[in-house]
Structure 1
Amino acid sequence: MAIEIHTAEDLYNIRDNLSGDYIQMADIDLSGYSNFDPIGDFDNPFEGTYDGAEYSISNLTINKQDESYIGLFGDTREVEIKNINLENIYVTGEDYVGGIAGYVRNNVSIVGCVAKGTVSGEGGYAGGIAGYVMDSVDISDCTFEGTAEGDYYTGGIAGYINGNGNVNISNCIVNGSISGSYSGGGIAGQVYSADISACKATVILSGDNQVGGIAGYIYAGAIAECYSSGKATAFDYYGYSGGLVGYGYCDITNCYSGCDIEGAAYIGGLIGYDSGSSITNCYSVGKVSGADSDIGGLIGYASGNISSCYYDTETSGQSDTGKGEPKTTAEMKTQATYIDWDFQNIWGINRLVNDGYPFLKVFEDGGEEPEEPENPYILYFLDTPRVTIEPPSANVVTVISDSSEYTAREAGISDDEVIHRIVEIDEGNYDVCRTVAKQLLSRWGREQKSIEGKIRLCQGLDFLKKVHIYDAEAMVDEDMRIQKLVHDVIEQTTVVTAGDIILSDDELLARILDSI
C-alpha cells in the first residue's frame, strides 16, 4: 500500500526510505525550506515510486551551485514518477540539474509531470524536467514552463540523453527560454540514440553553437510529429542553428518549424547542419538570417536524403534549392503542394488553423488557436428559447478498471471542497483510465449550458460556427457554438441548438471510450 504524503515534512522525509511507494494527498508548499536537499543522490538514489496525484508542490528552492545531482529527486534508478506538479521553482546546481530529477537512469518512467520556474546548471546537463537521462527511460506527457540555462547540454525537457536506443520522449510541451554556450534544445540539448515524438516547443533559444528548436544536437534515433516556434540564435561563426535541429544525424519525419533563425554559418529554417539524416515530409516558415556560408531556407548544410520537404521563400528570405523546395506563401498554404503527405491521419490544413499552413493532428489545437471572425452572427429568437443548464457535478474523478486506476483533480481545491465521483470501466490500462478521468472532469467540472430556439430562416449558418446568442427573457447574452440546425423552408424558420451537447453520464462515458 502506498505511503501517503500530506505535508512538506512528509515529502522531505522520503530520503529515509528511498525504496518506498508514495502518493501525494494534498498541495504542498516548500517555502519553509530555504534550500531544499534533493531526495536521493548518486550513491543512494531514489528507487521507489512517487505519484503526485496532480496536487501541487510549490516554492521549491535548491541553491547548490557547487553540487551535482540536483532536483526534487537528485538521482533516480528503476522508478516510476508521475503526476507531479511543480510550481514556482528555483533549482540551481553544478551538473545534472533538473526540475523533477537531476539524474535519471535504468528503467525509469516519468509521466504527466509539470515544472514551472527556473532550472540552472552552472556547469551543464540541465533540463526543465531531467538533467541527464540514460538507459531505458520513458518521459511522456510532461510540461516545462520557464527558464533552463547551463554552460553546456541544456534542454526544456532533458539536458543530455544517452539513450542506447532505449529512451523515448513523447507528448511533451515546453514554453520558455533555453540558453547555454553549447548544445541547447527546446526539448533536449544533446541526444545520442533516442526517439522524440509528438513534442512541441515554443522557445527563445540562444547559445554559441548547436542550437535547435527541438534538439541542439542529435546523433542516431528519430524525431517524428514535432514542431517548434520562437527564435533560435547561435553566436559562434560555425553556429549550427536550426528551427528543429542544430546539428543532426537521425530520421526526421512529419515535422515543421516556425522558428526565426539567426547566426553566421550552418543555419537553416529546419536544420542547421545535416550530417546524413533521412528527412521526410517536413517544412519550415521562419525567417533565416545568416552572415556567411551554408545558409538555407530549410537546411543550412545537407548531406542526407531529403524527400518531399519545403520552405516558405517569402517568410524565410531565402531562395536556395537542392536542400528542400522553395515555395511561395500561397503555395505553402495549399494542400496540393505537399506531395505524398498523409492528410488523412497525420496532417491537416485549414485557413483558420496555424495561419493556414499545415498542422499536425496529434496536437488538438493544430499549433495555434483558430483565427475566427468575432461573432459574425447575432441571433434573436422568435420565441423564448429553451435553456438547459447542468451545474458542475465533480471536481475529483477516479476511474477504475480491472487492472489500473487514475484520479483527476482540479487544482487548488481544499479537502472540504471535494466533490468526488468514482467511475468503473470494464477494462483499460493506466493510460485509458487517465484519459477517461481527465475528459470526464473537463465536462463534470464546469457548468454546461445548451439553448434551443427558432430564428428566421438563415441557411448561411454552419455547424460549429461561433454565434452570439441574445435573449433578454431567457437571460442569455453570450457566445456559443452551433451544435444542430434544422431549416424549415415552408415556415421560413431555422431551429438552432447551440452551446454544450448535454449527455447522460452513460452516454458521455460511452462516447469517451469509443474515441480512445
Structure 2
Amino acid sequence: MLGAGTQSNPYIISTPQDLNDIRNNLTAYYELANDIDMSSFGNFIPIGKVSPYFRGYLDGKGYKIKNLTINETTGYVGLFGYIANDSSYIRNLGLEDCNISGGTVSNWCGAISGALNHGIIENCYASGAVTGKYMVGGLVGQFPYGTIKNSYANVNVTGFARVGGLIGYSTSVNSIVENCYANGITVHTETGTAYPAGGLIGDAVAITVTNSFWDIQSSGLTYSEGGTGKTTAEMKTQSTYVGWDFNSVWGFNNDYPYLQVFGLPVAPPKVVSISLTSHSLPITSTINTNKKVYKVTESILSRVNAYLNKEKRTERNVSTYSLSLHTSVLKSNRTVRNSTQNVNTYILPIFSSSQRHSKKIEELLSYIKPIQARTDVLYPLNTNVYNAYLNVLENRSMASYTLNTSQINTIENPSIVEVIE
C-alpha cells in the first residue's frame, strides 16, 4: 500500500486487500485511488469490530466500494464496526450494492458503520441490503454521538426492532442529522409497536434532525423519529430540499438528489411496453415446391448376335506345271548328219503360300449387354454378307468390321536350256 498514513501523505487504497489492511492501522489517514470491486473477496470482517475501534480517517475521493459482502453474527457489523473518535471522518465514499448481514442475532448493523460514537460521516451514500436484529439502519445502526450530513441511503433494511432507513437508533441530542434522505424499504419484524420502524430513524431517545426526508411510498412507512416524510413525486422535486447546497454539494436531474462528488448517476434503462395494432391484411404466401425426381433409366438392348466362321491361317500348296521344253540340237560331225533328240527338263514345283490376317472382334464393353457377332466368310473373299440386328432404347452403339485382304501372285519362271554338242 502506497503512502505513509499521514494527513499530508495518506495510505492509498486501490485493491480489496488494501481495503482489508486498514485494520492494521486504525488511526491512520486513507484515500481511495479508484473504485474497488469486492465481489471476489468473500466475507469481509468489519474494520474495528471489537476494541481497539477505528479512530482513523478515510476519504473516498468520489470513488465507490462495490459488492461488499459481510456476514456476521456477533459484534458491530458494517464496513467499520465501531467509530470512536471526535475527529475521525468517513467522507466522499459510496457503498454500492452491498450485502451487510448480522443475521437475526447481531445488533448494531449499518452499511458504513455498525455504530458511530463521535466522528462524522459526510458526502456518503449506500445502496443494497442490511439485515440484523436490533438497531439496524441504512447507513448507521447505533448513533450515540456525532454528525451525519449530506448523505443518503437507498437500502432495503430489515430487523427485529429499532430499524430505520438511515439510522436505527439514536440516544443523544448530540447526534446530528443534516441534509440527508432515505428512500429504501424498511421492515421490522417485531410483534407489536414497542419499537416501530422509521422511514428515516427507527428509534431515538434524543436526536437533532435538520432538513432531512424520507420517501413514505418507497419505504412503506409514515413514521420516523425525525425528518419529514414526502411522496415519491415530492422527493423528486428540487424545491422540497430547502437549504440544500445545489451549487457545490448536491445535484438534481428530475430524480432523487445525487452527490456531485460522484458525478451524474447513470439511470438504469427503462423498459417500456408498447402495444401496436397492425391493420394490414394478412399476407398469403403460396409456395410451389419443385421436387427433384430421380428416375432410374434402364437401357435395354437386345443382344446383337453375330456369327463368325473364320478360316484360320491356312497353308496351301499350289503346284504349277510347265510343259516339257523341246530342244533341237544341231550336231556337226565330220559326217554331216541330222538328228533330232528330245531333252526333258524338270522344274521343281513353285510353292506359293497365302496368308490372311483378319481382326477378331471380341466382346465390346459398353454399358450394354455383351455384343456377339457372327460373320460368315467364304474363301476367296469375293462377297461378304453381314447380318446384324439391333434394338436400342436410348443408347446407340456402333459395330465396325475391318477386313484385311491378301493378294496371291503367281509367278511363272520360264527357263531356257541350251545343249551344245
TM range (shorter): 0.5 to 0.7
Contact 2:130 2:157 in 1 (8 A): yes
Give the counterpart of 1:196 among 71, 90, 93.
Answer: 90
Normalising by structure 2, we get a TM-score of: 0.54
Paired with 1:362 and 1:190, the residues of 2 have a C-alpha distance of 25
Question: Is residue 2:167 matched to residue 1:264?
Answer: no
Equivalent residue number for residue 300 of structure 1: 202
Equivalent residue number for residue 386 of structure 1: none
Equivalent residue number for residue 239 of structure 2: 336
Question: Is residue 2:234 matched to residue 1:311?
Answer: no
Equivalent residue number for residue 229 of structure 2: 326
The amino acid of 1:173's aligned partner reads K
Equivalent residue number for residue 125 of structure 2: 227
Displacement of 1:170 = 2.9
For residue 134 of structure 1, give the secondary structure of its aligned residue in structure 2.
coil
The amino acid of 1:167's aligned partner reads Y
Aligned 1:504-515 pairs, distance under 5 A: none
Contact 2:207 2:226 in 1 (8 A): no
Paired with 2:222 and 2:131, the residues of 1 have a C-alpha distance of 21
Output one character per residue of 1:121-175: Cα deviation in whole Å (capped at 9) or x when no partner: xxxxxx634224323433333535134536xx615xx7677455x5334335222
Contact 1:213 1:243 in 2 (8 A): yes
The amino acid of 1:168's aligned partner reads L
Contact 1:108 1:136 in 2 (8 A): no
Equivalent residue number for residue 186 of structure 2: 288
Give the counterpart of 2:57 among 164, 167, 189.
Answer: 167
Question: Is residue 2:9 matched to residue 1:115?
Answer: no
Contact 1:128 1:148 in 2 (8 A): no
For residue 130 of structure 1, give the secondary structure of its aligned residue in structure 2.
helix
Higher strand share: 1
Q: 1:321 to 1:327 in 2, by over 3 A?
A: same
Q: 1:265 to 1:227 in 2, by over 3 A?
A: same
The amino acid of 1:347's aligned partner reads W
Displacement of 1:179 = 1.6
Equivalent residue number for residue 108 of structure 2: 210
Q: 1:357 to 1:197 in 2, by over 3 A?
A: same
Paired with 1:173 and 1:129, the residues of 2 have a C-alpha distance of 17
Paired with 1:275 and 1:370, the residues of 2 have a C-alpha distance of 38
Q: 1:212 to 1:312 in 2, by over 3 A?
A: same
Equivalent residue number for residue 261 of structure 2: 362
Paired with 1:189 and 1:262, the residues of 2 have a C-alpha distance of 18
Q: 1:148 to 1:192 in 2, by over 3 A?
A: farther
Question: Larger relative CO (CA 8 A, sep 6+): 1 or 2?
Answer: 2
Q: 1:106 to 1:279 in 2, by over 3 A?
A: closer
Q: How many residues align?
A: 252
For residue 16 of structure 2, give the secondary structure of its aligned residue in structure 1.
strand
Output one character per residue of 1:459-505: Cα deviation in whole Å (capped at 9) or x when no partner: xxxxxxxxxxxxxxxxxxxxxxxxxxxxxxxxxxxxxxxxxxxxxxx
Paired with 2:80 and 2:229, the residues of 1 have a C-alpha distance of 28
Q: Identity percentage over the alignment?
A: 29
For residue 149 of structure 1, give the secondary structure of its aligned residue in structure 2.
coil
Question: Is residue 2:138 matched to residue 1:247?
Answer: no
Normalising by structure 1, we get a TM-score of: 0.45
Q: 1:362 to 1:108 in 2, by over 3 A?
A: closer
The amino acid of 1:80's aligned partner reads A
The amino acid of 1:201's aligned partner reads L
Question: Is residue 2:44 matched to residue 1:145?
Answer: no
Give the counterpart of 2:76 among 140, 158, 183.
Answer: 183
Equivalent residue number for residue 327 of structure 2: none
The amino acid of 2:182's aligned partner reads S
Contact 1:230 1:259 in 2 (8 A): yes
Paired with 1:128 and 1:232, the residues of 2 have a C-alpha distance of 20
For residue 199 of structure 1, give the secondary structure of its aligned residue in structure 2.
strand
Paired with 2:72 and 2:81, the residues of 1 have a C-alpha distance of 9
Equivalent residue number for residue 16 of structure 1: none
Paired with 2:80 and 2:59, the residues of 1 have a C-alpha distance of 9
For residue 262 of structure 2, give the secondary structure of its aligned residue in structure 1.
coil
Aligned 1:22-61 pairs, distance under 5 A: 51=2
The amino acid of 2:38's aligned partner reads E
Q: 1:133 to 1:159 in 2, by over 3 A?
A: farther
For residue 218 of structure 2, give the secondary structure of its aligned residue in structure 1.
helix
Give the counterpart of 1:274 among 164, 170, 178.
Answer: 170
The amino acid of 2:261's aligned partner reads V
Question: Is residue 2:25 matched to residue 1:133?
Answer: yes
Q: Which runs of 5+ in 2 are unaligned?
A: 273-421
Contact 1:268 1:299 in 2 (8 A): yes
Contact 1:136 1:163 in 2 (8 A): no
Contact 1:135 1:162 in 2 (8 A): no
Q: Which runs of 5+ in 1 are unaligned?
A: 1-49, 52-78, 82-104, 120-126, 375-516
